[in-house]
Amino acid sequence: MTRGATRTFWLFVGPFAAGLLLFTYLPIGWSAYLSLFDARNTVTPTDFTGFDNYRDILTDRAFLDSIGTFTLFAVFIIPTTVVLALVLALLVNQIRFARAFFQSVFFLPFACSYVVASLVWKMSLFSGVDSGVVNTVLGWFGGSPRAWIGTVDPPLYWVVLVTARLWLQLGFYMILLIAALRRIPRYHYEAAAIDGATPWQSFRHVTLPGLRGALIAVLTLNLINAYQAFDEFYNILGDSRGYPPFARPPLVYLYYTSLGSGGQDLGRGSAGAVILALVIALATLLSGRVFRRAR
């Protein structure tokens, strides 16, 4: 019986474990290896340089600016996403008619390709011409057309980037919170009502504690995704020429470092990738510790 259960376990888990090893852990290990070599235009370097690549990239102002800027980006986008997703989850969960329809409508953007969504945002909504949807709406209220993507001072391109990110991810986190809401026992609310609790008191003392685990998961996923932003920035801003250095997220910076037309410095790019992975891991661990203490 035990042998059959073990065989069944590896039958289901084996392909996933093999894919995880082949496409995740092996590339991570190879990147760490490349970061210790002068790997220009090659993935099989022989010139060992030790930690020189790490020293070079940690003294690169553009890389440090990208890390700092996206720390601020995370500080803004995470609370905004959590609050909006929670509001949507509470509203949709209270709907008695066509609830599945509204869940599908809000979740649909998450199933959309980030590349496609970025092009829609860039070419239709914030195109910077009179025919753009946002500029057309501004015209109705007496506003003048703006070059949303091309304006650096003030940096209006952040409006395009942030709204695209919110539209793409809100539905996913809303579904997670709705699933958590439905796991809260109904009798908790009935007991609170019997004790004379107001709707706000029920939300504070019943709903929020019941959502604590889901909220921690949403916060953690948001934190990781903020530092891994690539598609919308690359497709909306292009190669970032004409923009300040901090307009590039870390992954876009590392992409041009490793695969740019000026030379493929895979060693330096791998060092930056390792540093970014450590930053994400450290931020995730610290946030998890803070959330556990808040419980």
Task: Quickly name the fold that domain 47-294 has.
Answer: MetI-like fold (1.10.3720)
* Cβ neighbour number for residue 198 with a 10 Å cutoff: 10
| pLDDT value for 89 | 92
The predicted-structure confidence for 36-49, as pLDDT tens digits, reads as follows 988 888 777 888 88
The predicted-structure confidence for 204-229, as pLDDT tens digits, reads as follows 888 888 888 888 888 888 888 888 88
| pLDDT value for 293 | 61
Of 129-133, 139-143, 151-155, 217-221, which one has max mean pLDDT? 217-221
Q: Which residues pair with 37 in a beta bridge?
A: 48
Using 50, 70 and 90 to split pLDDT, how confident is the model at 176? very high
The predicted-structure confidence for 232-282, as pLDDT tens digits, reads as follows 888 887 765 556 655 677 888 888 888 775 568 888 888 988 998 888 888
User: Which residue, chain included where needed, has tokens 């590349």?
Assistant: 115
Mean pLDDT for the stretch of residues 186-206: 86
Q: Which residues pair with 265 in a beta bridge?
A: 40
Separation CA 132–CA 121 (nearest Å): 10
Which residues are within 8 A (CB) of 214 and not within 5 positions of it... i.e. 6 or more apart? 176, 177, 179, 180
* Cβ neighbour number for residue 162 with a 10 Å cutoff: 15
Residue 144 carries which DSSP code?
A: P
The predicted-structure confidence for 128-137, as pLDDT tens digits, reads as follows 666 678 888 8
| pLDDT value for 242 | 58
The predicted-structure confidence for 274-295, as pLDDT tens digits, reads as follows 998 888 888 888 877 766 665 5
| pLDDT value for 88 | 92
User: Which residue, chain included where needed, has tokens 């876009």?
Assistant: 252
Give this prediction's pTM.
0.81
Separation CA 111–CA 108 (nearest Å): 5
3-state secondary structure labels for all residues of 226-283: HHCCCHHHHHHHCCCCCCCHHHCCHHHHHHHHHHCCCCCEHHHHHHHHHHHHHHHHHH
- Longest pairwise C-alpha distance within the chain: 75
* Cβ neighbour number for residue 33 with a 10 Å cutoff: 14
Residue 24 carries which DSSP code?
A: I
| pLDDT value for 249 | 78
- Strands, DSSP E only, in 9-51? none
**Domain residue spans of the chain:** 47-294
8 A C-beta contact, residue 257 and residue 268: yes
